Structure 1
Amino acid sequence: SSEFETPTEEIDTFIDGGETEKLKAYELLQNNKTKYLTDADFHWRLAKCTYQLAQIEGGKGNVEKKKEMLYSAKDTAERALHLNQKSANSHKWYSITLGSIGDYEGTQNKIKNGYTFKEHIEKAIELNKKDPSNHHLLGRWCYGVYMLSWLERKAAATLFATPPTSTAGEALTHFLEADRLNPGVWKENLLYIGKCYVELGKYPEAVEWLEKASLLPVVSQDDKTAEIEIESILAKYGGK
């Protein structure tokens, strides 16, 4: 059982709120760090909050601050995992934060981390099948592997006897499962469903999902990034 006594509903509301609320959550968590050194629920929340603030810093152009916070989030999530291997959220946030440092790592590390990412997301799904974000993340892994460049595939082949493979169809099944669990409300997930249909050459389906996505409000940094891509794909395929 968790020792984390700060009202978690309050903390979670702050973490899922706007920038001001996230900063408040971060401050609360940092101030209580010494109290919860052995608490996994505390650490994955701190990792999540740090990761989200890193994205906000990136959106403001504070590149170094973003990088520093992402590595900090990854270390915190790793601590959560170390404290409780049975926590789906610890596995999930370790995967997310590990994936987020990919841009700063060399190709070999990025590919190795990709395997670790997949392993922990599959574990998170095993522990909690009802969390749509876990299915979305497995879809992202499949899509990322499917989109690997020739050079990255060569690098993977030198590292592993059987390099990772996936298809747009496989990625799509995971994104559709995420949507089934949380229908029509997640902009980024709808974008990826659309992108998979583009890869499969099913343009009318792609446009249908992307139009649904474009109607959703832009709330988070992820939504802002997704919106740009949605508009650009719709501009290309919307008339077909």
Structure 2
Amino acid sequence: MAQADSRALALGVLAGAAGISLVIAYFRKVGAGGGRAVHLSSNADHTGGSLGLQTGQAEVLDRLGALIHCVSELKEEVKALKEALPHLQDNVRDQLRGRSREEIGARKASPLHRTPTRRKRAGVPDTTEGQSSEDAESEGGYITALTDSEEEESDDERKPLQEPVDELMALLQKADRLHSCTGAEKAQGLNALLERKEEFDQKWQYLWRLSRAYADAHDFAMDLAEKKSYAENGKKVGEEAISINPLCPESHQWYAILCGLLTEYESIQNKIKNGYLFKDHLHKAIELKPEDPLSYYLLGRWCYAVSQCTWIERKIAATLFGEPPSATVQDALQNFLKAEEINPKYSKFNYVFLGKCYKDLGQRSHARQMCDAASAMSIVTKEDEEAQKELDSLVASL
């Protein structure tokens, strides 16, 4: 509301109050004059007319007195509104920014948030009989204003419910930041996520990052039993993430990774079972997100491992599951090349496995080129250290 509009409203109210005062003075004058005019009639008419006139005057005066009382209260509310108007813009901005409940409560103490008390007509019974249309409209307008005020308060009370969403985003960003670290602090993401598990354990965005954090913690753990525990827990969380949102590619990707990690600690039967799960969920991740080089790199690792299986291992797989896993070195090579195509110089390990594939296919010149490319990449992560060890062994065999 503009300042000129508020001044016009205040002047209108004051003019109305002045008009009502003039009406009262007029009625009092008429009442006095009417009393003198009645003396000219007969005694009977004089008595009945005088009593009727006095009763009518009393009722009118009571009504006018109540109206003056209402106008007085209205003036106070207009005054409070004028005081609150300069702060209206700040108040709206604060509410849009989603301030905390305490800050909103402090704002409610300002004149703008004062809930007006219900105005009662002084000296008149609280009934609808005898009320004018103006009275009815005034009451209706007041009830509407009160209802609007209550709705605004309920909206303010609902706003803090949005805070967990903001907290979730902050937590996910922290988890992503820790995962991108190259040192031991990478494993700290697991504790950061577990502290808020009760709040967000039904959010798939949270769950797939938790499974990823278990994989990170597995890589930095030194105890074998601890590593297995991280892999098992991460796999369970990955299953929950997929059940909540089966269309999330990261959920399938990290579930596959945890299945692959578990193969290091399981029996032959479970190794093969987790191997099938690894492949199936990587294919699903690629289907949902075909431009992620990590999925192609991991699928290349699976294909290469299967291509190196012995006859007895294939026979065991066929006995347990009816059909042994099938993949060739050429399949592995195509997946590693796809990862390199999507993201050139994707990783040191990707070049190492490209070199292995070319060596197995008899293309030694290409294998040396891949080894040179891997050697040119610096060692940054723990995975790079492992890649360097395999690279040294590969170079020695060429």
| Both proteins in one fold, TM over 0.5 | yes
For structure 1, which segment, 4-13 or 200-209, has the greater mean C-alpha deviation from structure 2 after superposition? 4-13
Displacement of 1:9 after TM fit? 3.2
Asked if 1:54 corresponds to 2:218, the answer is: yes
Is the 8 Å Cα contact of residues 355 and 368 (structure 2) preserved in structure 1?
Answer: yes
The Cα offsets for residues 19-76 of structure 1, whole Å up to 9 and x where unpaired, read as 343243222211111111111111111111121121111xxx4222222212121112
Question: Which structure 2 residues correspond to residues 114-125 of structure 1 after superposition, within 5 A?
Answer: 114-125=275-286
Displacement of 1:10 after TM fit? 3.3
Work out the CA distance in 2 between the residues paired with 1:176 and 1:83.
Answer: 33
- One-letter code of the match for 2:245? N
Is the 8 Å Cα contact of residues 4 and 39 (structure 1) preserved in structure 2?
Answer: no
Q: Percent identity, aligned pairs only?
A: 36
Map of 1:77 onto structure 2: 238
Is the 8 Å Cα contact of residues 185 and 216 (structure 1) preserved in structure 2?
Answer: no
Displacement of 1:162 after TM fit? 2.9
Map of 2:208 onto structure 1: 44
Work out the CA distance in 1 between the residues paired with 2:321 and 2:187.
Answer: 41
Work out the CA distance in 2 between the residues paired with 1:63 and 1:30.
Answer: 22
Work out the CA distance in 2 between the residues paired with 1:3 and 1:100.
Answer: 31
Displacement of 1:2 after TM fit? 11
Work out the CA distance in 2 between the residues paired with 1:232 and 1:113.
Answer: 28
For structure 1, which segment, 31-40 or 159-168, has the greater mean C-alpha deviation from structure 2 after superposition? 159-168
Map of 1:214 onto structure 2: 375
Map of 2:181 onto structure 1: 17
Aligned CA-pair RMSD: 1.8
Question: Which structure 2 residues correspond to residues 105-144 of structure 1 after superposition, within 5 A?
Answer: 105-144=266-305
- One-letter code of the match for 2:289? N
The Cα offsets for residues 117-162 of structure 1, whole Å up to 9 and x where unpaired, read as 1111000000000100011111111111111122211101212333
Higher-Rg member (1/2): 2
Work out the CA distance in 1 between the residues paired with 2:366 and 2:304.
Answer: 18
Is the 8 Å Cα contact of residues 44 and 89 (structure 1) preserved in structure 2?
Answer: yes
Selected match of 1:31 from 168, 184, 195: 195
Instruction: Structure 2: state its 5+ residue gaps.
Output: 1-164
Is the 8 Å Cα contact of residues 187 and 216 (structure 1) preserved in structure 2?
Answer: yes
- One-letter code of the match for 1:15? H
1:23 to 1:137, Cα distance in 2 relative to 1, 3 A = closer
Work out the CA distance in 2 between the residues paired with 1:118 and 1:23.
Answer: 26
Task: Report the TM-score, using the length of structure 1 for normalisation.
Answer: 0.91
Selected match of 2:395 from 214, 218, 234: 234
- Counterpart of 2:339 in 1: which secondary structure? helix
- Counterpart of 1:193 in 2: which secondary structure? helix
- One-letter code of the match for 1:109? N
1:3 to 1:99, Cα distance in 2 relative to 1, 3 A = farther
Displacement of 1:112 after TM fit? 1.7
Work out the CA distance in 2 between the residues paired with 1:17 and 1:130.
Answer: 23
The Cα offsets for residues 212-238 of structure 1, whole Å up to 9 and x where unpaired, read as 11221222222111110001111221x
For structure 1, which segment, 212-221 or 36-45, has the greater mean C-alpha deviation from structure 2 after superposition? 212-221
For structure 1, which segment, 224-233 or 158-167, has the greater mean C-alpha deviation from structure 2 after superposition? 158-167
Map of 2:49 onto structure 1: none
Work out the CA distance in 2 between the residues paired with 1:4 and 1:152.
Answer: 45
- Counterpart of 1:166 in 2: which secondary structure? coil
Displacement of 1:84 after TM fit? 1.0
- One-letter code of the match for 1:96? I
Is the 8 Å Cα contact of residues 339 and 346 (structure 2) preserved in structure 1?
Answer: no
- One-letter code of the match for 2:361? L
Instruction: Structure 1: state its 5+ residue gaps.
Output: none
Displacement of 1:7 after TM fit? 4.9
Work out the CA distance in 2 between the residues paired with 1:36 and 1:7.
Answer: 10
Runs of 4+ in 1 over 6 A off after TM superposition: none
- One-letter code of the match for 1:127? L
